[in-house]
């Protein structure tokens, strides 16, 4: 099982501290929600974990190695970082085939993941004509290409309609049930609460809480209430 | 590395840009061929001789180079423009391997583009000569050397284009920089240096001399081998600058 470990991870942009000495180790085979406000440092943390952003300090490893040191990384980690990272002139199938070729993954797997995300009928169309929800599904398909043991998903529900959100929840639960580790960031707390085993809460780049969902929401408290309580903010919460 | 090169070539052939560049180059070559065929042999125009075939295969050299440069630019700038660099880096996080595979893919695509237009010019030239009962001598008049020079020059242009694209990342900026250099700097630098001969050391001069392979040497340009080496040095310099930027900055 490929575990994720983050130790003292810090990212500064000039005087702005996006991520501040963040540390956590994910339990393998569990679905973990990564929660924080806009600008809390979720995406920056995930990008550092995936080798897309250089940390100012600290380490982020998967299976004991930085992402950039992994051999055949897509077979270890599947990642969704930006649904708009496809060439609009390329068809959905070819967008995935380009990624698969670089990762030495055969074309039959492309059709398998297209079916998994229910995009097989649109696979021959150019990505430029896709809705945001379809691009999100395509990005999820790209994450699943290598059949990885670990998935890192940054706001996967963005752009999905209610049916899509329900489908995504079932997909994430299914991935967890298969024994995969899933780290999923979202600000849709009510939705996230239905799909995750554990929750990491960050605020201003710092770790606020990391606990099983059941512990965070004792006494019938919702994840949203727990989040607002733990981050010291209660604006907009009816008494 | 092979997988990364294969992926880069696949990316090129699954978007319209490279095909449009190829089609435009082929259309220009055919138009030039038709224009030449209409004029050659007329009073006051050059006579149709076997050596004309060498002129024909040499003629699209600069154009093929420009098209290959554009192809190289597209290969790298499109990654940043459309954010595909994220999925590319996730699949191949080793930046050096990734950038070198882009150079290789650009060189192969540029060479293929040039070879295609060379075959077009050669076939057209052979048809023209045969139709006017002029001897076809495909291995004479420096024809193989000229074809080889055009193909190598195009491959180097494509590598330089990939380097410039990685360095500047913005397609409009990259094309603007290339046009600015070609049409302004290449003319201004020799004037500033007050040395008209200095132009032969610039990229344009290097191309000129490399494409003169198989022709009697012109003292105004470097010998073809030196021109080719100089062009390769420019391509290498631009590529290494692009690699440095890719290694130093996040996608």
> In terms of Cα–Cα distance, which of A146, A102, A100, A95 is closest to A122?
A95
B100 contact residues in A (CB cutoff 8 A): none
pLDDT at A239 over 50: no
* Least confident interval from A196-210, B40-54, B194-208: B40-54
Q: What is the mean pLDDT of residues B79-108?
A: 94
pLDDT value for A238 = 39
- Identify which of A54, A86, A99 has the shortest CB distance to residue B250: A54
- Identify which of A50, A101, A104 has the shortest CB distance to residue B90: A50
**B102 CA to chain A: closest CA distance, Å?**
12
B76 contact residues in A (CB cutoff 8 A): none
A132 contact residues in B (CB cutoff 8 A): none
pLDDT at B46 over 90: no
Q: Enter the tokens of residue B250.
A: 């996040």
pLDDT tens digits along A56-66: 999 999 988 99
What's the Cα-to-Cα distance from B71 to each of A145, A146, B67, B204, rounded to whole Å?
29, 30, 6, 18
Q: Cβ atoms within 10 A of the Cβ of B216, count?
A: 6
**A53 CA to chain B: closest CA distance, Å?**
5
pLDDT value for B83 = 93
Ranges of each domain in chain A: 4-76+149-230, 86-147
Q: Enter the tokens of residue A202.
A: 């960050």
pLDDT at A217 over 90: no
pLDDT at B133 over 80: yes
Q: What is the percent of chain A where pLDDT is above 90? A: 69
Q: What is the mean pLDDT of residues B86-112?
A: 95
Report the C-alpha gap between A10 and A44 in whole angstroms: 10
- Identify which of A85, A102, A142 has the shortest CB distance to residue B3: A102
**A224 CA to chain B: closest CA distance, Å?**
31
Ranges of each domain in chain B: 2-248
pTM, two decimals, is 0.89
What's the Cα-to-Cα distance from B95 to each of A17, B102, B179, rounded to whole Å?
26, 11, 28
B1 touches chain A (CB under 8 A): no
**A93 CA to chain B: closest CA distance, Å?**
10
Secondary-structure class of domain A4-76+149-230 per CATH: alpha beta
pLDDT value for B167 = 95
The answer to whether the CB atoms of A90 and B83 lie below 8 A apart is: no
The answer to whether the CB atoms of A87 and B82 lie below 8 A apart is: yes
Residue A29 near residue A180 (C-beta atoms within 8 A): yes
Q: Cβ atoms within 10 A of the Cβ of A139, count?
A: 28
- Three-state SS for B19-82 is HHHHHHHHHHHHHHHHHHHHHCCCCCCCCCCCCHHHHHHHCCHHHHHHHHHHHHHHHHHHHHHC
pLDDT tens digits along A126-179: 999 999 999 999 999 999 999 999 999 999 988 888 888 888 999 999 998 898
pLDDT at A234 over 60: no
Q: Whole-number mean pLDDT of chain B?
A: 92
Q: Whole-number mean pLDDT of chain A?
A: 90
The answer to whether the CB atoms of B16 and A81 lie below 8 A apart is: no
**B100 CA to chain A: closest CA distance, Å?**
13
Residue A236 pLDDT grade (very low, low, confident, very high; cuts 50, 70, 90): very low
The answer to whether the CB atoms of A86 and B82 lie below 8 A apart is: yes
Q: Which residues contact B234 (CB under 8 A, 6 or more apart)?
A: B156, B160, B203, B206
* Contacts made by residues A163-171, CB under 8 angstroms, sequence distance 24+: A164/A133, A164/A136, A164/A137, A165/A191, A167/A118, A168/A140, A169/A194, A169/A195, A171/A116, A171/A117, A171/A140
* Least confident interval from A207-211, B179-183, B219-223: B219-223
- Neighbouring-strand partners of residue A153: A80, A184
Laid out side by side, the sheet with A57-62 consists of A16-25, A4-13, A57-62
Q: Cβ atoms within 10 A of the Cβ of B174, count?
A: 23
Residue A22 near residue A202 (C-beta atoms within 8 A): yes
The 10 Å CB-count burial string (b at 16+, else e) for B180-203 is ebbeeeeeebbeeeeeeeebbbbb
pLDDT value for B192 = 87
pLDDT value for A1 = 47
User: What is the β-pairing status of strands A31-35 and A198-203?
Assistant: parallel
Query: What three-state secondary structure class fits A13?
Result: strand
What's the Cα-to-Cα distance from A183 to each of A103, A199, B221, rounded to whole Å?
22, 9, 62
Question: Which residue of chain A is at minimal alpha-carbon distance from B74?
Answer: A87
The answer to whether the CB atoms of A68 and B94 lie below 8 A apart is: yes
Q: Enter the tokens of residue A133.
A: 């929800």
Residue A234 Cα to chain centre, angstroms: 26
- Identify which of B10, B11, B83 has the shortest CB distance to residue A82: B83
Q: What is the mean pLDDT of residues B2-26?
A: 95
A47 contact residues in B (CB cutoff 8 A): 250
Question: Which residue of chain A is at minimal alpha-carbon distance from B101?
Answer: A102
pLDDT tens digits along B164-174: 999 999 999 99
Question: In chain B, positions 83-122, which contact chain A (CB-CB < 8 Å)?
Answer: 83-94
- Identify which of B11, B91, B250 has the shortest CB distance to residue A103: B91
> In terms of Cα–Cα distance, which of A204, A228, A206, A205 is closest to A216?
A228
The answer to whether the CB atoms of B14 and A98 lie below 8 A apart is: yes
B16 touches chain A (CB under 8 A): yes
**A91 CA to chain B: closest CA distance, Å?**
8
Report the C-alpha gap between B239 and B110 in whole angstroms: 15
Q: Which residues contact A108 (CB under 8 A, 6 or more apart)?
A: none
**A185 CA to chain B: closest CA distance, Å?**
18
- Identify which of B11, B82, B91 has the shortest CB distance to residue A74: B91
Report the C-alpha gap between B80 and B242 in whole angstroms: 13
């Amino acid at each position: 099982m490929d575990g994720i470990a983050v130790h003292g991870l810090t990212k500064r942009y000039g005087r702005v501290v996006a991520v501040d000495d963040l540390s956590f180790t994910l339990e393998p085979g569990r679905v973990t929600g990564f929660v924080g406000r806009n600008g809390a440092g979720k995406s920056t943390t995930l990008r550092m974990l995936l080798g897309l952003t250089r940390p100012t300090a600290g380490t982020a490893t998967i299976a004991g190695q930085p992402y950039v040191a992994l051999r055949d990384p897509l077979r270890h980690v599947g990642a969704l970082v930006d649904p708009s990272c496809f060439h609009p002139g390329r068809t959905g199938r070819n967008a995935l085939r380009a990624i698969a070729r670089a990762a030495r993954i055969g074309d039959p797997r492309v059709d398998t993941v297209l079916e998994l995300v229910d995009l097989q009928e649109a696979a021959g169309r150019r990505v430029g004509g896709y809705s945001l929800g379809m691009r999100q599904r395509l990005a999820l398909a790209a994450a699943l290409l290598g059949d990885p043991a670990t998935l890192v998903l940054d706001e996967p529900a963005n752009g999905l309609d209610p049916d899509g959100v329900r489908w995504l929840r079932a997909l994430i639960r299914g991935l967890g049930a298969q024994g995969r580790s899933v780290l999923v960031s979202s600000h849709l707390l009510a939705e996230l609460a239905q799909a995750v085993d554990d929750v990491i809460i960050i605020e201003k780049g710092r770790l606020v809480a990391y606990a099983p969902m059941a512990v965070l929401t004792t006494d019938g408290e919702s994840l949203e209430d727990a989040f607002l309580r733990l981050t010291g903010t209660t604006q907009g919460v009816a008494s | 590395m092979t997988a990364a090169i294969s992926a880069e070539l696949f990316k090129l052939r699954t978007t319209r840009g490279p095909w449009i560049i190829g089609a435009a180059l082929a259309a220009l070559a055919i138009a030039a061929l038709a224009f030449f065929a209409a004029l050659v042999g007329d009073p006051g125009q050059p006579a149709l001789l076997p050596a004309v075939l060498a002129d024909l295969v040499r003629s699209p050299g600069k154009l093929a180079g420009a098209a290959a440069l554009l192809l190289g630019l597209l290969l790298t700038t499109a990654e940043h423009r459309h954010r595909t660099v994220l999925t590319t880096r996730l699949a191949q996080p080793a930046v050096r391997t990734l950038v070198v595979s882009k150079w290789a893919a650009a060189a192969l695509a540029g060479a293929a583009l040039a070879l295609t237009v060379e075959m077009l010019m050669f076939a057209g030239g052979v048809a023209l000569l045969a139709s006017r009962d002029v001897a076809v001598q495909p291995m004479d008049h420096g024809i193989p050397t000229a074809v080889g020079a055009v193909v190598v020059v195009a491959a180097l242009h494509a590598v330089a284009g990939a380097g410039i694209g990685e360095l500047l990342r913005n397609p409009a900026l990259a094309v603007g920089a290339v046009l600015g250099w070609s049409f302004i700097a290449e003319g201004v630098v020799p004037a500033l240096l007050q040395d008209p001969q200095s132009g032969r050391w610039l990229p344009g001069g290097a191309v000129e001399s490399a494409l003169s392979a198989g022709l009697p040497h012109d003292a105004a340009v470097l010998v073809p081998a030196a021109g080719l080496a100089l062009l390769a040095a420019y391509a290498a310099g631009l590529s290494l600058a692009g690699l440095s930027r890719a290694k130093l900055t996040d996608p």
